């Protein structure tokens, strides 16, 4: 406010909330516009500069100026009429916005109050760190709304003081009505401020409760993981003991196998020596077998010694083969064939069975 002898100046920057109608993301937006008024005390004319006024504000301002023009001179508009339009714009959508903030907070509040802490059922609320982040975004909106409301309080108080000065200077014809409307606007803002303060306090409690739920679940999950690790360590210890027992068993088995292999080596060496002896016996038998066979043959009745001359024994003897000698030959051939063929027949049967 700058007050000169013949000119009153008054300016402020208004912030307010409106639905953006985008259909995606946050449905509410924070908007603002600037107001400057220069009032000439001599002719009661006002010069206005309004920055970034929306179409809605321009329409409301036009309608108000047409309906509240001064009765004595229609070309003159009371200097408080635009301020009343602007102040009514400030308090217009705060009720809907507080309901929106409250509905958004209730989503997190239900999760915080009704989520199962110990075990999650299939129909239970899911609580994650994302909820804490989204709640923090909502709290920032609430803080911003509180800041905007505090600024609006200052603007309304400034308008009340400006209106009182105009009344004292006899520059407004609707002073009492303007004061009443500004007081009503101020009380409405107070109601919205108390409601948003309540939402802010509830959001702080909800944020603490969500953080405690996540912390409790994290500690519970950590305990579960530690218990699982402990069980796995116990299993590993048992497995280690089993492996040690198995290693001892394998070492004993390996030692026994080594001893058996040593014994088998000794047996093989002894068998080799025995086979050498048997081979010698076989060679001796092979050498003496023909001689013994011939001796046995000549000692049998198959070969007989007869005198050359029966009447004269002094003439010597000669060897005579018995007429049954062929039986010996046939029996020997049959025995040799059977002895040779029998192992071959057995081998052929085993091969056919396999």
Q: DSSP string covering 98-163, please?
A: HHHHHHHHHHHHHHHHHS-SS---TTSPP--HHHHHHHHHHHHHHHHHHHHHHHHHHHHHHHHHHH
pLDDT tens readout for residues 45-64: 889 999 998 888 888 888 88
**Cβ atoms of residues 4 and 12 within 8 Å:** no
pLDDT tens readout for residues 220-272: 888 888 888 888 888 888 887 888 888 888 888 988 888 888 888 888 788 77
The strand pairing partners of 69, in sequence order, are: 77
pLDDT value for 333: 79
Nearest to 68 by CA among 52, 56, 51, 85: 85
Lowest mean pLDDT segment, chosen from 140-144, 167-171, 185-189: 167-171
pLDDT tens readout for residues 27-37: 999 999 999 99
Burial of 240: CB neighbours in 10 Å, binned 0-12, 13-18, 19+:
exposed
Phi, psi of 77 (to 5 degrees): -115, 140
pLDDT exceeds 60 at position 74: no
Burial of 185: CB neighbours in 10 Å, binned 0-12, 13-18, 19+:
buried
pLDDT value for 124: 60
**Residue, of 100 and 281, whose pLDDT is higher:** 100
Q: What is the DSSP letter of 37?
A: E
Task: Give the C-alpha distances (Å, rounded to integers) separating 350 from 57, 150, 337, 344, 354.
Answer: 113, 110, 20, 10, 6
pLDDT tens readout for residues 306-351: 666 656 556 667 666 666 667 777 777 787 788 778 878 877 877 7
pLDDT value for 111: 85
Given 1.10.1270.20, 3.30.930.10, 1.20.58.340, 1.10.760.10, which CATH number is that of 2-233?
1.20.58.340
pLDDT exceeds 60 at position 2: no
User: Do the strands 46-51 and 303-307 form a parallel or antiparallel pair, or are they unpaired?
Assistant: unpaired
**Cβ atoms of residues 185 and 86 within 8 Å:** no
**Residue, of 96 and 67, whose pLDDT is higher:** 96
pLDDT exceeds 70 at position 118: no
3-state secondary structure of 45: coil
Domain boundaries, the chain: 2-233, 300-354
**Residue, of 131 and 328, whose pLDDT is higher:** 131
Nearest to 36 by CA among 48, 45, 23, 25: 48
Task: Give the C-alpha distances (Å, rounded to integers) separating 186 from 102, 191, 263.
Answer: 22, 9, 113
Question: CA-to-CA distance for 36 and 41, rounded, in angstroms?
Answer: 16
Question: CA-to-CA distance for 103 and 142, rounded, in angstroms?
Answer: 13
Sheet holding 2-3, edge to edge: 2-3, 7-19, 28-40, 46-51
Nearest to 193 by CA among 158, 156, 142: 142
């Amino acid at each position: 406010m700058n007050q000169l002898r013949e000119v009153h100046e008054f300016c402020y920057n208004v912030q307010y909330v409106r639905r953006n109608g985008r259909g995606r993301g946050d449905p509410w937006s924070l908007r603002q516009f600037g107001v400057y008024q220069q009032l000439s005390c001599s002719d009661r004319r006002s010069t206005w500069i309004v920055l970034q006024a929306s179409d809605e504000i321009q329409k409301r301002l036009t309608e108000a100026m047409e309906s509240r023009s001064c009765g004595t001179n229609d070309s003159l508009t009371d200097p408080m009429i635009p301020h009343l339009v602007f102040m009514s714009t400030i308090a217009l959508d705060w009720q809907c916005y507080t309901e929106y903030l409250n509905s958004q907070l209730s989503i997190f509040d239900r999760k915080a109050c009704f989520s199962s802490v110990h075990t999650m059922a299939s129909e239970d609320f899911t609580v994650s760190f994302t909820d804490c982040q989204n709640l923090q975004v909502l709290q920032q909106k609430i803080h911003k709304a509180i800041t905007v409301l505090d600024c609006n309080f200052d603007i309304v108080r400034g308008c009340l003081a400006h209106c009182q000065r105009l009344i004292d200077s006899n520059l407004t014809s609707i002073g009492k009505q303007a004061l009443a409307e500004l007081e009503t606007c101020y009380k409405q803002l107070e109601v919205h401020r108390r409601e948003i303060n309540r939402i802010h306090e509830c959001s702080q409690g909800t944020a603490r409760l969500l953080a405690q739920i996540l912390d409790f679940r994290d500690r519970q999950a950590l305990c579960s993981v530690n218990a699982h690790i402990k069980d796995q360590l116990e299993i590993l210890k048992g497995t280690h003991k089993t492996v040690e027992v198995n290693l001892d068993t394998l070492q004993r088995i390996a030692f026994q196998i080594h001893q058996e292999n040593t014994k088998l080596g000794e047996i093989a060496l002894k068998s080799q020596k025995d086979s050498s002896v048997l081979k010698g016996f076989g060679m001796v038998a092979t050498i003496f077998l023909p001689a013994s066979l011939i001796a046995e043959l000549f000692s049998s009745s198959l070969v007989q010694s007869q005198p050359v001359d029966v009447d004269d024994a002094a003439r010597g003897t000669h060897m005579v083969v018995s007429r049954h000698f062929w039986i010996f030959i046939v029996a020997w051939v049959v025995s040799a064939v059977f002895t040779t063929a029998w192992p071959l027949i057995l081998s052929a049967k085993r091969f056919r069975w396999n």
